Structure 1
Amino acid sequence: MDAKTGDVGGCPVPHDGGVRALLGRTNKDWWPEMLATEILNPNGSTNPHGEDFDYAEAFNALDYNGLKADLTALMTDSQPWWPADYGHYGPFFIRMAWHAAGTYRTADGRGGANSGQQRFAPLDSWPDNGNLDKARRLLWPIKQKYGKNISWADLFILAGNVAIESMGGPVFGFGGGRADVFEPERDIYWGSEDKWVNQGVQTRIAPEHGFQQIEGPLAAIQMGLIYVNPEGPQGNPHDDAGMARDMKETFARMAMNDEETVALTAGGHTFGKAHGNGDPSTLGAAPAGSDLAAQGFGWVSGEAHGGIGEHTVTSGIEGAWTNVPNKWTENYFRLLLDYDYELVKSPAGANQWQPIDQKEEDMAPAAWDPNLKVPTMMTTADMQLKRDPAYRAISEKFRNDHEAFKDAFARAWFKLTHRDMGPKVRYLGPEVPAEDLIWQDPIPAGTMPSDADVKAVKDKIAASGLTVSQLIKAAWASASTYRKSDHRGGANGARVALAPQKDWDVNEPQLLAKVIDTLNGLRGSMSLADAIVLGGVVGLEKAGATNVPFTGGRGDATAEQTDADSFAVMEPEADAFRNYVGKKKLAVKTEEMMLDRASLLGLSVPEMVVLVGGLRVLGANHGERGHGHLTKRSGQLTNDFFVNLLDMTNVWKAVDGSGDEEYVATDRAGGHEAWRATRADLIFGSNAELRAVCEVYAEKGGEAKFAKDFVKAWTKVMNADRFDLAGSNAKASAASREPELAK
């Protein structure tokens, strides 16, 4: 690995399709010598606290004020092995918290601070996270003291909040509840590049090569970055248009608009400095590839002075943005807008911008010597807040109205660090803001219907003329939007009846509108959200299912409570559960998209298999598509999909001109057409692991098990967003805020 560029050379493992193409490079690809602990967890991570560990309960027993006091004391407790710049660790912890949260992306809800992933590869070793391993080690004595009562994930963000407060900055609030995981989340696609960020690597937006936007769900501009290359696109400091484009695209994919982007950039850069006052060629490997004796430390300098303090190299850029880097001030915009800047090189060779003829009082103290004055600097990214017309207007506004800037930064920081937590009911602790924010997807509290009301509405739905297929489609369209990554979507709120979801092609808008109009006329005082799910129950019972559970209590959101633009990115490009593929050409195979959707729903392999098989025979395919129906008993909950898929009397062949997306089965003896199917159907007979599960349901006596397992998996999806039913997290959250609510 080249210490200056982060270039690890070509990846030693071929990546030419399959699931690997979906997930991109693995940790083993980047660091072949890494210990493969996943061999001990073939069925997923094991929590050392035990399967019954209740983090919400543990958090609510936390000495919260004591923890904050200890964090405040840590801010100025400089350690000789990693000295605090300006005698204050605050800027360091702000960067740590920012980079823990900043991996979030709206397209699939993955990334973010929600599970403490910054402790693990690849994030712990990304070039953009250089030296944050030291920030985490500085926190260890506090984590050790408070133990299981505070997760690493919560501690990262709370440390950032305390850092801001300790330097006089504005904070909007804090919500705990981020439970730790104990291994890397291996189902996150971080990109397909075989090199980390460096000046010679093509960015993910390259119009000259036909790349008009970032690929798929990715949000950063290059592998190994949180957002953008601060020196400019591919290190070019003169590409202002490209720099502004990269900033707007990446921040938008992380749920930030232009005003939030300016507020975060300016507020974050009000504090601290960048580090490039040394020789980057002497730096050792990142944590994941470091020597055993380094004990997880990365980027260890080989220079005699140890590469700390005055000699620290991280990004390669050197200097503070403001003249008072350890306090919240109004100086960032003044220095940016009032001075002209010239391009210079840092001691480490990085491109940066320096004020021309800077006054001594506007210079910063040296981080290692308060008596020494040094020029401030701006990155190429900072310069866009001055050069881009839209960013400039916002910067001028904030410069002239500091209170507006403070409020905008506090809110944007809160959004940055909480965006992946889902609804506010999941938040824990005494500092949860009372205000409901649109990006939290607020839903009015629902009312639990009585048993009599449930029965009455069920009877009306059953007699309404709505078919099994129609009821199942509507319920699935509503509930299957849930994603475990950021806990958004789901049936609660009935947003399937609101824009944009009601108009998604995958939801068959005209048919969906008919079902919703009918249910609205039948539900009485029951919420529409409950009625849609109850309609699914009726559909299953009509199809022959028994003992289908239903738990009401959902609320109905309004259009005013729905950020339509935010939900628009959740529209499926493909949904194998409904045998749907949109018009857009997919970069990965249909069956890989199915795995991704199942993962976001939190499904196991058997749960995915049983749901697809059941939805096929129930008639849940998009439109009138008969592919994969594989039954003569349409609308009945049978195991026919599995029986007929595995029937060796038929032979399958791709349909000419379908691009290997459609297949036809013909009878081996007579040659007549028996069935039609898609890739998302045939993969269940082709893949050995999926076929093994299908065989269980196709075996003699398997139909009863299939029906039972389908109902269980269906109910899991219907209730995926019912955090009030999960018990501990939601209930403990409300209990932790009782004093505030009482006020």
Structure 2
Amino acid sequence: MTEATGKCPFHQQGGHSSATDSNTNWWPNALNLDILSQHDKKTNPMDPDFDYAKAFNSLDLEAVKQDLRELINSSQDWWPSDWGSYIGMFVRTAWHLAGSYRKQDGRGGANTGNQRFAPLNSWPDNVNTDKGRRLLWPIKRKYGNKISWGDLIILAGTVAYEEAGLKTFGFGGGRKDIWHPEKDIYWGEEREWLAPTENRYENDQDRKSLENPLAAVQMGLIYVNPEGVDGKPDPLRTAQDMRVTFDRMGMNDEETVALTAGGHTIGKAHGNGKAELLGADVESADVEFQGLGWHNPEGTGNAGNTMVSGLEGAWTTHPTKWDNEYFYLLFTYDWALTKSPAGANQWEPTNIKEEDKPVDAHNPNVRRNPMMTDADMALKMDPEYREIAERFYKDPEYFAEVFARAWYKLTHRDMGPKSRYLGVDVPNEDLIWQDPIPSVNYVLSEAEIDELKAKLLNSGLTSGELINTAWDSARTFRGSDYRGGANGARIRLAPQKDWVGNEPERLAKVLVKLEEIQAGLEKKVSIADLIVLGGTAAVEKAAQAAGVDIKVPFLPGRGDATQEQTDAYSFEDFEPKADGFRNWLKDDYVVQPEEMLLDRAQLLGLTAPEMTVLVGGMRVLGTNYAGAKEGVFTDQEGVLSNDFFVNLTDMKYNWKPAGKNRYQIVDRATGAAKWTATRVDLVFGSNSILRSYAEVYAQDDNKEKFVKDFVAAWTKVMNADRFDVK
């Protein structure tokens, strides 16, 4: 390399910016707040007033579907289709977009079109989904802003199944694209693709000990390893992984069998080459590849030379048709372990009839053996899976119906309630995983709202009890999959009513009183509305006590869900392990309490300033779990003052450790302990970014701003799940 070309100017030394994540590199233990600005509006190229729902509703959906049908039944020179059809390609692209969803924290899934960005665009399991997106580009270009990438990819997969002959359950639009990577989602701590599974299991022999909130068994996979656990064939052990992984996606055994079999009823696996010769993934490929990865230098690099999973072959005799051949082949023949041309472990039938072999994807004069993955063999060998699979084999119509519903669930699970769905193909049926809530038909005037506030404040319940109940009800909201929140008042139902973090005894007391109030109303108002209004009224009262006369907005219209409308099992994952806003930690964890606060704030859709002002306000309002006094830096508890920030930043105090996650605030002059605190309290003075916000709210001229900002953030949390008015 010459002197001229060998030196990189300024910060570009080494071929990429050394400034990238430089603070993290220098101070790896510093609290990283980036997750709270993950989708900053500065990254969004759309106009500020762009309304995707309005744009989608102006779309001729049938025209899009017709264009997709024509594309599905074509073959492009640069990436030829198998058997003259892209059915398998578009199903796989959609599947792998939706399949990253996990119910533990609601992250992943198809809702944001995140497959376009790292790390998902470069996961080993997503090899050649880049080709699927590029094949769809002419349709995306044609319809533009009217259909997002997330909606288009899922629609393409659904139309592909229809072209194969399946009667699908429906399709709902409404997925809004993101514009940069969600780099702060935790996909595992491994630093290599497909690292051994022991890295994410507490006990490698206990497959249920998979680290939370993860669902996939290895870094870079959507589900399980198709060759077996750690690439070692063992269908019964693979069945254990499947059961855990699909459960963490919100699927039961029947749905797991249906999705596995239905997914493999069409298309094929590609492994006709040498995996070690593949070029760099999407994110690593050089500029001449223009966003395409995994270049294959062998032969044409595509068609008969296509490399994806490394396994090679179709699962069924007619891989572009929806039929029951998958079960016919699985149960009719014995299967032996073999190697693909790429050296991957796969299963092939012994003594198969010639007519049961699929023809080659690109040469109709040649027939090939079908193949099965370790997961497919698990459906035959695991007793519970086999029982379900045999039922599907005997009843093809039932199988088709279960699969159609499971596909719909897989591709829509992260969209939240049905009220968010767009388009003419949305099914009328309410499904329990959509968290249905009865609608209400009452309207409340301002005078009626004021009258209700007075009843709530004079009910004998304390302001703290009202605020905590409203907060605990609303804090379950997850912007990741639009589930949870105060609407539905599921805090009064199992499992939420018994969660330790909800203080069941206090909660039961409040709910009894609210039901008494409700019973005495001429116009029946939902418990959900009364819960939120009680907290709102108490906040308003506390603001007035601080000398700020402010009206805290209240938006009525919440309904009360029933226990029958509540998927109690799926809500178990919502149980809080910590709530930094109420200064509560259930147990000791590997991560620090302040990191758990960030996670909660991000799921609630809060910015760093909103998180800051809420914590400061909640402390002085005396809303700590079980009435604890850590962080209550005020002598006028219950008043919505800025005292938390004033005293946190006052240098007349010293801060000393006083046990695990406990600190004393000591008067420097007298040496007397004034207050106690936790890490979550002190991080607002120690972290430079959070301190800058704390100082704003500690200023003498920002007392009123503090109250207004707290009220705005409080209202945002209370209304986070009100999709009916957004």
Please give the TM-score of this superposition, normalised by the length of structure 1: 0.91
Residue 229 (structure 2) aligned to one of 205, 215, 233: 233
Q: Deviations over 1:272-300 (max 9, x none)?
A: 10000112222100010001101011011
Is 1:553 the counterpart of 2:563? The answer is no
User: Secondary structure at the residue paired with 1:369?
Assistant: coil
Distance 1:574 1:178 in 2: 30
1:186 Cα deviation after fit: 2.6
Q: Are residues 210 and 273 of structure 1, via their aligned partners in 2, closer, same or farther at CA, if it must alter by over 3 Å?
A: closer
User: Secondary structure at the residue paired with 2:487?
Assistant: coil
**8 Å contact from structure 1 (residues 45, 183) kept in 2:** no
Distance 1:18 1:170 in 2: 52
1:729 paired residue number? none
Is 1:654 the counterpart of 2:632? The answer is no
1:208 Cα deviation after fit: 4.5
Is 1:576 the counterpart of 2:573? The answer is no
1:280 paired residue number? 275
2:535 paired residue number? 536
1:395 paired residue number? 389
Is 1:360 the counterpart of 2:340? The answer is no
- Aligned counterparts, 1:425-504, within 5 A: 425-451=419-445, 452-504=447-499
1:401 Cα deviation after fit: 1.1
Q: Are residues 407 and 15 of structure 1, via their aligned partners in 2, closer, same or farther at CA, if it must alter by over 3 Å?
A: farther
Residue 348 (structure 1) aligned to one of 327, 335, 342: 342
Please give the TM-score of this superposition, normalised by the length of structure 2: 0.93
Instruction: Pick which of 588-597 and 186-195 moved more.
Output: 186-195
2:117 paired residue number? 120
Q: Are residues 254 and 285 of structure 1, via their aligned partners in 2, closer, same or farther at CA, if it must alter by over 3 Å?
A: same
Distance 1:681 1:561 in 2: 38
Q: Are residues 23 and 572 of structure 1, via their aligned partners in 2, closer, same or farther at CA, if it must alter by over 3 Å?
A: farther
Q: Are residues 248 and 42 of structure 1, via their aligned partners in 2, closer, same or farther at CA, if it must alter by over 3 Å?
A: closer
**8 Å contact from structure 1 (residues 275, 314) kept in 2:** yes
1:375 paired residue number? 369
1:260 paired residue number? 255
Distance 1:16 1:245 in 2: 40
Residue 590 (structure 1) aligned to one of 588, 593, 599: 593
Q: Are residues 306 and 282 of structure 1, via their aligned partners in 2, closer, same or farther at CA, if it must alter by over 3 Å?
A: farther
Distance 1:664 1:90 in 2: 64
Distance 2:637 2:495 in 1: 31
**8 Å contact from structure 1 (residues 90, 164) kept in 2:** yes
2:174 paired residue number? 177
Distance 1:280 1:20 in 2: 39
User: Secondary structure at the residue paired with 1:329?
Assistant: coil
1:562 Cα deviation after fit: 0.3
1:99 paired residue number? 96
Residue 506 (structure 2) aligned to one of 499, 507, 511: 511
Instruction: Pick which of 176-185 and 411-420 moved more.
Output: 176-185
**8 Å contact from structure 1 (residues 449, 526) kept in 2:** no
Q: Deviations over 1:175-198 (max 9, x none)?
A: 001111111123311111010016
**8 Å contact from structure 1 (residues 22, 189) kept in 2:** no
1:692 paired residue number? 692
Is 1:301 the counterpart of 2:296? The answer is yes
1:23 Cα deviation after fit: 9.5
Distance 2:701 2:515 in 1: 40
- Aligned counterparts, 1:42-441, within 5 A: 43-197=40-194, 202=198, 204-205=200-201, 207-208=203-204, 213-237=209-233, 239-303=234-298, 305-441=299-435
Structure 2's unaligned 5+ residue stretches are 1-20, 545-549
In structure 1, give the amino acid aligned to 2:725: L
Q: Deviations over 1:450-485 (max 9, x none)?
A: 224323322211211111110100000111111111
Is 1:681 the counterpart of 2:681? The answer is yes
1:27 paired residue number? none
User: Secondary structure at the residue paired with 1:652?
Assistant: strand
1:42 Cα deviation after fit: 9.6
Report the aligned-residue RMSD: 2.0
Q: Deviations over 1:500-527 (max 9, x none)?
A: 1111111101101111111111133001
**8 Å contact from structure 1 (residues 484, 601) kept in 2:** yes
Distance 1:20 1:689 in 2: 9
In structure 2, give the amino acid aligned to 1:113: A
In structure 2, give the amino acid aligned to 1:242: R
**8 Å contact from structure 2 (residues 336, 348) kept in 1:** yes
Q: Are residues 212 and 410 of structure 1, via their aligned partners in 2, closer, same or farther at CA, if it must alter by over 3 Å?
A: closer
Q: Are residues 428 and 638 of structure 1, via their aligned partners in 2, closer, same or farther at CA, if it must alter by over 3 Å?
A: same
Distance 1:49 1:379 in 2: 43
Distance 1:90 1:108 in 2: 31
Q: Are residues 92 and 23 of structure 1, via their aligned partners in 2, closer, same or farther at CA, if it must alter by over 3 Å?
A: farther
Distance 2:219 2:325 in 1: 33
User: Secondary structure at the residue paired with 2:230?
Assistant: helix
**8 Å contact from structure 1 (residues 420, 485) kept in 2:** yes
1:60 Cα deviation after fit: 0.8
Of all paired residues, the percent bearing the same amino acid is: 57
Distance 2:403 2:473 in 1: 35
Distance 1:48 1:208 in 2: 45
**8 Å contact from structure 2 (residues 39, 178) kept in 1:** no
Between the two proteins, the alignment pairs up a number of residues equal to 694
**8 Å contact from structure 1 (residues 628, 641) kept in 2:** yes
1:3 paired residue number? none
**Would you identify which runs of 4 or more consecutive aligned residues in structure 1 move more than 6 Å?**
11-16, 19-24
1:250 Cα deviation after fit: 0.8
1:207 Cα deviation after fit: 2.5
Q: Are residues 605 and 22 of structure 1, via their aligned partners in 2, closer, same or farther at CA, if it must alter by over 3 Å?
A: closer
In structure 2, give the amino acid aligned to 1:526: V
2:17 paired residue number? none
Q: Deviations over 1:321-348 (max 9, x none)?
A: 0111010111111111121111000000
Distance 1:22 1:195 in 2: 25
**8 Å contact from structure 1 (residues 384, 391) kept in 2:** yes
User: Secondary structure at the residue paired with 2:654?
Assistant: strand
**8 Å contact from structure 2 (residues 270, 309) kept in 1:** yes
Q: Deviations over 1:34-74 (max 9, x none)?
A: xxxx9xx9945532121111001100111111110000000
In structure 2, give the amino acid aligned to 1:84: S
1:665 Cα deviation after fit: 1.4
Distance 2:250 2:54 in 1: 30
User: Secondary structure at the residue paired with 1:95?
Assistant: helix
**8 Å contact from structure 1 (residues 23, 191) kept in 2:** no
Q: Are residues 371 and 563 of structure 1, via their aligned partners in 2, closer, same or farther at CA, if it must alter by over 3 Å?
A: same
Q: Deviations over 1:95-141 (max 9, x none)?
A: 00000000001111110000111111111111000011111111111
Distance 1:168 1:15 in 2: 56
1:206 Cα deviation after fit: 6.3
Structure 1's unaligned 5+ residue stretches are 1-10, 25-37, 727-743
In structure 2, give the amino acid aligned to 1:71: L
Q: Deviations over 1:669-719 (max 9, x none)?
A: 211111000011000000011111111111112211111110111001101
User: Secondary structure at the residue paired with 1:594?
Assistant: helix
**8 Å contact from structure 1 (residues 278, 307) kept in 2:** no
In structure 2, give the amino acid aligned to 1:537: T
Q: Deviations over 1:334-368 (max 9, x none)?
A: 11112111100000000000111111111111111
